[in-house]
Amino acid sequence: MYKRVVVTGLGIVSSIGIGIEEFWPNLLAGKSGITEVSTFDTAEYEIKLGGEVKNFISKNFLNKSQDKEFGRASQFAIAATKLAGSDANISIDEIKASRMGIIIGTTMGEGGMIEQIDKHWTALGEEDVWGLTISKYPSNSIANNVNRALGLVGTSWVMPTACAAGNYSIGLGYDLIKTGHFNRAIVGGADPFSRIGFTGFGRLYAMSPDKCRPFDKNRKGMMVGEGAGILILEEYEYAIQRNAKIYAEILGYGLSCDAHHMTSPQVEGVSKVMQKAIKNSGIKKIDIDYICAHGTGTPANDKTETEAIKHVFGKKAYDVPVSSIKSILGHTMGAASAIEAIACCLSLRDHEIPPTINYETLDEECDLDYVPNEAREKTLNIVLNNSFAFGGNNACVVLGRCR
């Protein structure tokens, strides 16, 4: 018999707050996390804004040696994991005693490390490249470093499925608990700022010069962000036995790869992944009370997502609130859908939908209810979390109030 899977802990590092106590009120208030980038010199860049985490103090979460040993993505992931564990009211010893694994999604991995390698190599040659810097670079180090920092020995994975990686991680954790392999999983995503990402999206002409306006007629693109989101998943009976608080139940998920184009989404692929998620969750489309959109603010993505929602939900599409928190945070890449899953859990807890800020002008091709500019109270029982990535890697997760 399959096990039920629930969310018992949430941890976040974001441009609008570290920890859910700071993050959630700011999200509902529509407080923008977009500021001038200071992680690196933007003098030669046309666009100088992003969703940068300004007040992260690594020594609050890592000891002195770990602070030097781990890159920024790993530091974010470790901090978010510790926050999630504290929120779930479980000790490291309790985590060690469980059958567990760590699954972290990412787009850039420790992208800043390769920049440092290139900088030293081009300046003074190969001998100037530090071995420690090289050891930080591989993307798989993020999940391994969470294990190392917490003294855990559980199985670890890194999901490299770009901007859908957080949802992929949640899906794998769900499967492993549902089938009885684990009774607990640490899942989520992490991505830091890097020149590589900033330059890449700039050269794709996908970035907005001022602000992110998802679904607005005058949208000009995305804003690059950074951060980490971690969720503690547990088998339902296991969580009940320890009297854990439960934010939500993972009802199911769907995956699709439309393989249509490296950067341009396809309505068919996006429709298919939502349909799969709904079917696999054992619910009907009329049961969805809210859609947390991928909503990047690019002309193509928002139009495609809107068309796909209409294709899946028909006339009901106009009755389902849809909002994009990327308007507030920027696009946090591999962390995005994990952070959005955290927002979904908090929405289910408080019956509050975060807004799509910067929404000013109706687009005839994007004419759904995007919860413009102000949070909304609404009774929520089941929500859908969308994520779509380059190459057509799509993942949607369905979360519900635990009954």
Which residues carry out catalysis?
163, 294, 331
Distance of CA 277 to the CA centre of its chain: 17
User: What residues does 105 pair with on adjacent strands?
Assistant: 159, 189
Q: Measuring CA to CA, which residue among 205, 191, 210 is closest to residue 337?
A: 191
Residue 324 DSSP code:
-
DSSP helix/strand/coil, 331:
strand
Listed in sequence order, the residues at least 6 apart from 123 whose beta carbon sits closer than 8 Å to its beta carbon are none
- Dihedral pair phi/psi, residue 236, rounded to 5°: -55, -50
Q: Are 95 and 150 in contact (CB under 8 A)?
A: yes
Tokens 């995956």, residue located: 255
Distance of CA 305 to the CA centre of its chain: 17
Q: How many CA atoms lie within 13 A of 371 on its CB side?
A: 27
Query: What are the DSSP calls for 172-198, one per residue?
Result: HHHHHHHTTS-SEEEEEEEE---HHHH
Residue 375 Cα distances to 220, 292, 316, 344, 351, angstroms? 23, 13, 21, 13, 10
Q: Are 103 and 169 in contact (CB under 8 A)?
A: yes
Listed in sequence order, the residues at least 6 apart from 210 whose beta carbon sits closer than 8 Å to its beta carbon are 49, 220
**What letters, b where the CB count within 10 A reaches 16 and e where it falls short, cover 193-214?**
bbbebbeebeeeebbbeebbbb
Q: In whole angstroms, what is the distance from residue 401 CA to residue 383 CA? A: 9
Q: Are 249 and 282 in contact (CB under 8 A)?
A: no
